[in-house]
Amino acid sequence: MSKQRVVLLPGDGIGPEVVEAARRVVDASGPPIEWVPMEIGTVAFEKYGDALPAHVLDEVRKCGVALKGPTTTPIAKGHVSANVRLRKELGLFASIRPVKTVPGLETPYGHMDLVVVRENTEDLYSGLENEVAPGVITSIKVITEVASRRIAHFAFEYALRWGRHRVTAVHKANIMKKADGLFLECARQESLAYAGRVSFDDVLVDALAMKLVTNPSQYDVLLLENLYGDIVSDLAAGLIGGLGLAPGANYGPDCAVFEAIHGSASDIAGKGIANPIAVILSAAMMCHHLGDTESYLRIRKSVRTITRDHRELLTPDLKGSGTTRSLADAIVREVERRRREPVDD
């Protein structure tokens, strides 16, 4: 069987540690993958003067698939985020972030099983900021009909494909009547084509924040603009136990890049204690994308077995005493066991 080439982008901070863990888990499950390791983020910036070099973009375009770790973006100065550029350059307009309660790690917030669908290309991430006068800055929010219809269509198609029953558009159209009003109207228009198959409603983003922490189980698929999607993903991840548990994927017409929600976590980078589960689950999503549903299920079930039965092996963010390496070892062993003796659970 010919091997699928997949670009491996460890990134920086905790990226190399958690991406290596995910690579080992995928290899243990056995999809025919040829990894193509390449540098982005701080490492690439120091080497090439560019956090996202053109040759990396070319390779991802060629392979069509990448597994990516986080990259650091300087705060309030410095280069444009490599992540934002990657998504724009490759046309990765849809970010999918499933957030599901993890067995063994149930939280006081109740059961959650929702999917954040985030528009990835515009909104306040347009990078259009100007100093119009000393002490006065404008930051332009761009919302277009084309991008709003495209992401709404993606959300409804996703809901149908994955047996989800409702899409909720999230907005602040009472204040941003034109920008968020357009986003909401596009979602409404798109919903008409799915009437009777996927239901539709909407919620103000501030109300959503409150409703999520009081009763998260009421939500199914959340459809959001770029910034709200970013914030709500982190909030939702926190409700299931933290950023170390929440995977993600970015899809465009020609490429898909799989990466966790979390960032480069400089506070724990290099200590060997970063939780690799979010990137491992992102890698499972990648296997599904590549057509290997067995690996997708095997990896997810293996993670669930470890979180449910071996709390002591988990990393410190989950109150365990394990390390990135020892947790990855345990998941690799479980994947190998399930590969040898398939269990139906």
Catalytic residues, which ones?
125, 172, 206, 230
Residue nearest to ligand NAD (CB): 263
Amino acid at 73: T
Nearer CB in complex with ligand NAD: 267/345: 267
Of the residues 16, 31, 53, 70, which one makes contact with ligand NAD according to CB under 6 A: 70
Q: Which of 198, 196, 236 is nearest to 217 (CA)?
A: 236
Residue from 42, 71, 250, 295 in contact with ligand NAD (CB under 6 A): 71
DSSP assignment of 41-76: THHHHHHHS-SS-HHHHHHHHHH-EEEE------SS
Complex with ligand NAD: residue 201 or 312, whichever CB lies closer? 312
Helices (H) and strands (E) in the chain, counts: 11, 12
Report how far residue 242's alpha carbon sits from residue 94's, in angstroms, rounded to the nearest whole number. Answer: 22
The residue from 56, 239, 243, 335 that contacts ligand NAD (CB under 6 A) is 243
CB of 241 to ligand NAD, least distance (A): 10
Select the span of 132-140, 201-209, 263-271, 288-296 touching ligand NAD (CB under 6 A): 263-271
264 binds ligand NAD (CB under 6 A): yes
Tell which one of 274, 283, 299, 306 touches ligand NAD (CB under 6 A). Answer: 274
Q: Would you list the DSSP string of 271-314?
A: TT----HHHHHHHHHHHHHTT-HHHHHHHHHHHHHHHHH-GGGS
The one among 157, 317, 329, 336 contacting ligand NAD by CB under 6 A:
317
56-63 own/partner pairs: CB under 8 Å, 24+ apart: 56/7, 56/9, 57/86, 57/89, 57/90, 59/7, 60/7, 60/86, 60/90, 60/255, 60/257, 61/90, 61/254, 61/255, 62/5, 63/4, 63/5, 63/6, 63/7, 63/36
Based on the shown chain and the rule CB under 6 A, indicate whether residue 259 belongs to the binding site for ligand NAD. Answer: yes
| Residue 73 interacts with ligand NAD (CB under 6 A): yes or no | yes
Residue 83 touches ligand NAD, criterion: CB under 6 A: yes
Q: Which of 102, 268, 285, 299 binds ligand NAD (CB under 6 A)?
A: 268
Query: Which segment (27-35, 145-153, 270-278, 292-300) binds ligand NAD by CB under 6 A?
Result: 270-278
Query: Residue 326 interacts with ligand NAD (CB under 6 A)?
Result: no
Q: How far is the CB of 294 from ligand NAD (least distance, A)?
A: 26
User: Under the criterion CB under 6 A, does residue 305 sit at the interface with ligand NAD?
Assistant: no
**Among candidate residues 69, 26, 15, the one with its CA nearest the CA of residue 283:** 26
Of the candidate residues 132, 161, 267, 341, the single one contacting ligand NAD (CB under 6 A) = 267
Distance in Å, CB of 8 to ligand NAD, minimum: 15
CA distance 335 to 29: 6
What are the residue ranges of helices labelled H in 193-292? 205-214, 226-240, 277-289
Q: Is 241 in the site for ligand NAD (CB under 6 A)?
A: no
Q: How far apart are CA 306 and CA 313, in angstroms?
A: 8
Does residue 278 belong to the site contacting ligand NAD (CB under 6 A)?
yes
Whichever of 109 and 258 has its CB closer to ligand NAD, that residue is 258
In three-state secondary structure terms, 225 is coil
Residue 148, by phi and psi: left (phi above 0), alpha (psi -120 to 50) or beta? alpha
Sites for ligand NAD among residues 24-53 (CB under 6 A): none
> Footprint of ligand NAD on this chain (CB under 6 A)?
14, 18, 70-73, 83, 243-244, 259, 262-265, 267-268, 274-275, 278, 317
